[in-house]
Every structure is written in structure tokens, then in C-alpha cells.
Amino acid sequence: MAFENHEEGHFTVVRIDESRLDASVAEVFKTYVFDLIEEGRSNIVVDLAEVRFMDSTGLSVLVAGLKKLSGNGSFSLACAQPAVRDLFDLTSMDKLFKLHGSVAEAVKGS
């Protein structure tokens, strides 16, 4: 399985065990995240530590998750690698997401 999740306090941490979050896996990841939200998980942290490359389709899935939870929980990101941080900067998506340095920091909500 390319994705797994576990609970840390009030948060559901979703780990992506893929080096690329791109158009070829985006739909599967979207279904995975949406299923979690529909099961009632409302505070999600996506751990991007393994993701070395993300395209605009991968980014759109994260936006879709954020939008689905909008106002009813939290959707944040942790451990974004340089190319991923660059994509957020280029697209100004850093205005929408909290990019945490670590999962520990994200679940503290700092």
C-alpha cells in the first residue's frame, strides 16, 4: 500500500510511501483521503517526508482535501521536501496550507 495512516492524539497522520505524488497516483490518493474524511477523521496531517516530486495534479488533491474539510477540521502538511516546497511557493499555495517542519510539530498545532 502506498499510503497508510495512524492516529496521534486528535490527529490522523497520513503517510505517503511514494517518492512521487503525481497524476498517475493522485486519484488513488484522493479516494484514500476522502474515505478517511467520510469516516469522520477531521484533523488530518499529511506526512510528505518521502515525496521528492509533486506535480500540479498531486497538489490539486491536497487542495481538494483541504476544501472538503474546510471549516470542519484541519488539513495540514508536514516534512515537505525542497522541490515540494518550491511548488507551493510557485503556485502561492503556501497561503492555503500550514507547512510544518515535522509531524510532531503538526500534531502540536504549532
β-bridge mates for residue 44, sequence order: 12, 75
Least separation in angstroms between residue 98's CB and another protein is 11
Q: Count residues near another protein (CB under 8 A).
A: 25
For residue 16, the Cα-to-chain-centroid distance in whole angstroms is 8
Among 6, 10, 67, 108, binds another protein (CB under 8 A): 67
Per CB under 8 A, which region of 4-12, 39-47, 72-80, 88-96 contacts another protein? 88-96
β-bridge mates for residue 13, sequence order: 6, 45
Residue in this structure with the C-alpha cell 505517503, named with its chain if needed: 16
CB nearer another protein, residue 44 or residue 66: 66
Q: Which of residues 15-44 bind another protein (CB under 8 A)?
A: 20, 22-24
Alpha-carbon gap, residue 22 to 16, rounded angstroms: 12
